Amino acid sequence: MSEGISTKPYLVRAIYEWCADSGFTPYLAVAVDQRARVPMEFVKDGEIVLNISAGATRNLQMGNDMIEFSARFSGTPRQIQVPLANVIGIYASENGQGLAFAKEVLPDVGDDTSEPGDEPSPPRGKPQLEVVK
């Protein structure tokens, strides 16, 4: 039996909708590698946390393989592209509730120094997240 379609994009969209419906600000935690198009000057320890609320983004598209939108960083417009494989969490900034995802092993990552069996690192801050594998 095949694994089928990943639940990850559906869970990310569900938490995003829950945040929007609840009046919360959805934050997306991303493990950054060469596939992620994000402003590198804001990346810390190989990760970035992005505000993906309707007020902070334009043309947000949350597909099954990629999250894309445009946003301003320090007043400069940027086009952001985040592969779903790079998403390590989504949560409400106001209360930290959301989901964390195990880091996926990606081929051709280049400078990835993680070892097999390393625990996934949750997003920085105070989020109260449940790890989904």
* pLDDT tens-digit map of 70-107: 999 999 999 999 999 999 999 999 999 999 999 887 66
What is the pLDDT, as a whole number, of residue 108?
59
Quick check: is 22 in a domain? Answer: yes
- In the numeric block, which tokens belong to residue 9? 């994009």
Q: What is the mean pLDDT of residues 57-77?
A: 96
Mapped onto helix, strand or coil, the DSSP state of residue 13 is helix
What is the pLDDT, as a whole number, of residue 5?
86
Quick check: is 110 in a domain? Answer: no
Quick check: is 1 in a domain? Answer: no
Beta bridge partners of 73: 76
Nearest to 111 by CA among 6, 33, 10, 53: 33
Quick check: is 66 in a domain? Answer: yes
Quote the number of domains for the chain. 1
Quick check: is 114 in a domain? Answer: no
Quick check: is 113 in a domain? Answer: no
Q: What is the mean pLDDT of residues 48-68?
A: 97
Asked whether residue 29 carries a pLDDT value surpassing 60, the answer given is yes
Which CATH number characterizes residue 24's domain? 2.30.30.220
What's the domain range around 79? 8-105+119-132
What is the pLDDT, as a whole number, of residue 103?
83
